[in-house]
Chain A
Amino acid sequence: MSERFDSAPALVGRPTQPCEVLFSDVHVLDPRAGIDRRLDVRVCGGVIAELAEPGTLSDTDGPDRRCELVEGEGRHLLPAFFDPHVHLRSPGQEHKEDMETGTRAAAAGGFGAVIAMPNTDPVIDSAALLRSLRDTALREARVPVGFTAAITRGLQGGELTEMAELRQEGVLAFTDDGRPVASAGMLRKALQYQRLCGGVLALHEEDPSLSAGGSMREGPISAALGLSGIPSISESTMVARDAELAIYERGRVHFQHLSAAASVEAVAAAKERGGAVSAEATPHHLLLTEEAVRPLDTRMKMNPPLGSESDRLAIVDALRSGVIDCVATDHAPHAREEKELPFEQAPMGTTGLETAFSALYTHLVVPGLIGLPLLVERMTAGAALFGLPTHTIAADEPANLVLVDLDGAWVPGEQGFESRSENCCFAGRQLSATVLMTVAAGSIAYRRRAFSVVGA
């Protein structure tokens, strides 16, 4: 057996035809590459071949004459987004989502790659299960998928998984997402074992003794509705505890879906002390608050729950300052009949892949709360946190691109979803910015279909 931990490819997708495209007169925005202007971009064989002044490249003068011409007319070409936190529900819960529908949703949202969570049925906690899932991705994934495995067998919190073997089979991270690692002793062992095998420990932070029975954030709305509340300290005390453990063990941890101001403070403090910690925030925690739960819409039931307005503002600030490193959707599809239940009975989670960019653009960039370059940076930063190359728009880079129309208007759900599920917290809201085309790992993964009916 190889003793290397980078032998298996980290990202797996369905093999596809490399694309030949000329993006003519597009506004290229890649904050890391320092590009923010109109250019022509030629993609040959799935690789970015050249960037040139607008109007200087032609679809007939390239090395391959079958090149597709995309007239950009100044629309934005961005590095394709990266989502380090999605639930593709495969294996075992394909009535909610599967590898194909989930990655189709990712492509439609402009994501060039995603990382799948292991809380499936069965839980991904052995190399055999992981290999089978990788095979599924090789057949079905429309965009490359990275994998994670559980920290503890069956997410039970009792025994560590065979982390070293799982790393050799290509997992990027370990996580019991959906549940916390409740025992500090267990997480400490995982952090120690991480010195052998590497990989990130991605943590869903929740103290079950504080959150048990709760279905929304504790506060004035839960008091008025009579719903048992999940207090913000359920998350923040665990973030503080685990940051302390990670610093002590010199481990690498990533805090998932922060929802509380005190959690953000704990992450900032850990970073100041030099801890190898990173954090993500979801579009729903960046844009919505517990107020959205008042009508008892089960699409607004998620874990962690939506917080107060001051929590939301702290998360937006942290995204801006970099205390929160990246955006992650926590795309969590559930079947209609599972969500069509009284609030307390409904499962937690909202879908997010198809709406993430538009929702954040509409509600953070348009009102001037953060700039578009920063949003693009935060929507692509997840890759590096998990040891993957960052999508970049530069010659000789693999084409991971998204073409967006910032002036496009749409209402999520009106034309259905690519996801198998429709439990989207932004459904029915008027949003700006549409994804026109996504190129993932050199292949066209999504193309917006435009139908126009001509009257007789």
Chain B
Amino acid sequence: MSMSHLLSIEDLDRAAIERIVSQAERFAEVADREIKKVPALRGRMVLNLFYESSTRTRSSFELAAKRLSADVVNFAAGGSSVEKGESLKDTVLTLSAHRPDVIVIRTPWVGSAELVSRWCNAAVVNAGDGKHEHPTQALLDVYTLRRRLGALDGMQVWIVGDVAHSRVARSNIIALQRMGAKVTVAGPPTLIPRDIEAMGCEVRYTLQEMHRADVVYALRMQLERMTDSLVPSRREYAAWYQINSRRLRPRQLLMHPGPVNRGVELAGEIVESPRSLIAAQVEAGVVVRMAVLYELLSGARPAEKPSLRPAPEPQPA
């Protein structure tokens, strides 16, 4: 079975997650070679379409595509026709004329990757759609944990912080439970969405019981949440929810999707501690995204499907 898009972790069952993660493990061997490139996707085109700033996600998709010998085009919304008011649909239709095999898309809007998949023939990878999902982040987190722990079955994972605004949290709540883990979300009541329990996780408003966790996954605390009065102050947030060496027990592992606000959600000293998997997560980003691109393109060649629209006629200058 091969998938045609990666829009949501919802679309992947445990077997599919394991298949991608195992493929990533094989690509990890490539990363250890002197020549880090394989010809698997030679002649294929990957289009990175980013409506939001991103350092690690975009660069790891780019690196992943290049290690598979694909061509990469980066399109950032800033400085493009988007600033002239072009709609998402028109931008996608225009870029589709270049016949990309994969479109990797990040936007601030829920459901945008799925919309894009309806408007073009390319395989679409959701690299973040608003506060909804960030499936490749969840896959790389599963990969990282499996490498460290072997299996996730029965593991207790606490996701701590601003769950309301976090696509990483939503994708991980689904992915980690599919892999057999038990998920608890914890954070200020103003930042835990009402009825989030319906996703199968438990909810706590303090870290009192966090000692039960095998893994503590801290979320990025954006500074604008303070101005929105969702938390009274940085100081108060840190006092109640910061993960520091006092709160994190020696056997517990620490994760974070980056970029870290040192001194807010994480105490500075803990970021580089041996219990921290943060650097391993970044490293996993490339091989997991290689596996996703490979999974999408190793089946039928989407480029051979007829295009929905003919290429636009060249306009006289």
Contacts and interface: CB of A to CB of B under 8 A. Distances in A.
Tell me, yes or no, whether A binds B: yes
Given A340-B89, A342-B107, A345-B109, A224 B130 contact: no
B114 A296 contact: yes
Interface in A337-362: 337, 340-345
Contact of A226 (B107, B114, B130, B195): B130
Contact of A296 (B111, B131, B195): B111
B81 to A, nearest CB: 16
Contacts, number: 66
A225 interface: yes
A223 B193 contact: yes
Contact of A224 (B89, B107, B112, B170): B170
Interface stretch (A158-166, A214-222, A251-259): A214-222
A296 B110 contact: yes
B196 A223 contact: yes
Contacts of B199: 220, 223-224
Interface centre among B133, B194, B196, B199 (most CB of A within 10 A): B194
A242 to B, nearest CB: 25
B132 A225 contact: yes
Nearest to A337: B87
Nearest to A297: B111
B274 to A, nearest CB: 33
Contacts of B195: 218-220, 222-223
Give the secondary structure class of A's interface. loop
B224 to A, nearest CB: 13
Interface string A209-244: 000000000111011111111010000000000000
B155 interface: no
Contact of B110 (A220, A223, A226, A340): A226
Interface centre among A225, A228, A229, A345 (most CB of B within 10 A): A225
B111 A343 contact: yes
Contacts of B114: 296
A226 B131 contact: yes
Contacts of A337: 87, 89
B88 interface: yes
Contacts of B194: 218-219, 223, 229, 231
Interface residues of B, number: 23
B157 to A, nearest CB: 18
A222 B111 contact: no
A210 B97 CA distance: 43
Contacts of B279: none
Interface in A286-310: 296
A274 B144 CA distance: 65
Contacts of B196: 220, 223-224
Given A220-B198, A223-B196, A344 B109 contact: yes
Contact of A344 (B87, B110, B133, B198): B110
5 closest A-B pairs (Cβ-Cβ)?
A226-B131, A342-B109, A220-B198, A296-B111, A223-B193
Interface of B: 87-89, 107, 109-112, 114-115, 129-133, 167, 170, 193-196, 198-199
29 contacts: A218-B193, A218-B194, A218-B195, A219-B195, A220-B196, A222-B195, A223-B196, A223-B198, A225-B110, A226-B110, A226-B130, A226-B132, A226-B167, A227-B110, A227-B132, A229-B194, A296-B110, A296-B111, A337-B87, A340-B89, A341-B87, A341-B89, A342-B88, A342-B110, A342-B129, A343-B109, A343-B110, A344-B109, A345-B109
Given A337-B87, A342-B107, A342-B110, 17 more contacts: A220-B195, A220-B198, A223-B193, A223-B194, A223-B195, A223-B199, A224-B199, A227-B130, A231-B194, A296-B110, A296-B111, A296-B115, A337-B89, A342-B88, A342-B115, A344-B109, A345-B109
Interface of A: 218-220, 222-229, 231, 296, 337, 340-345
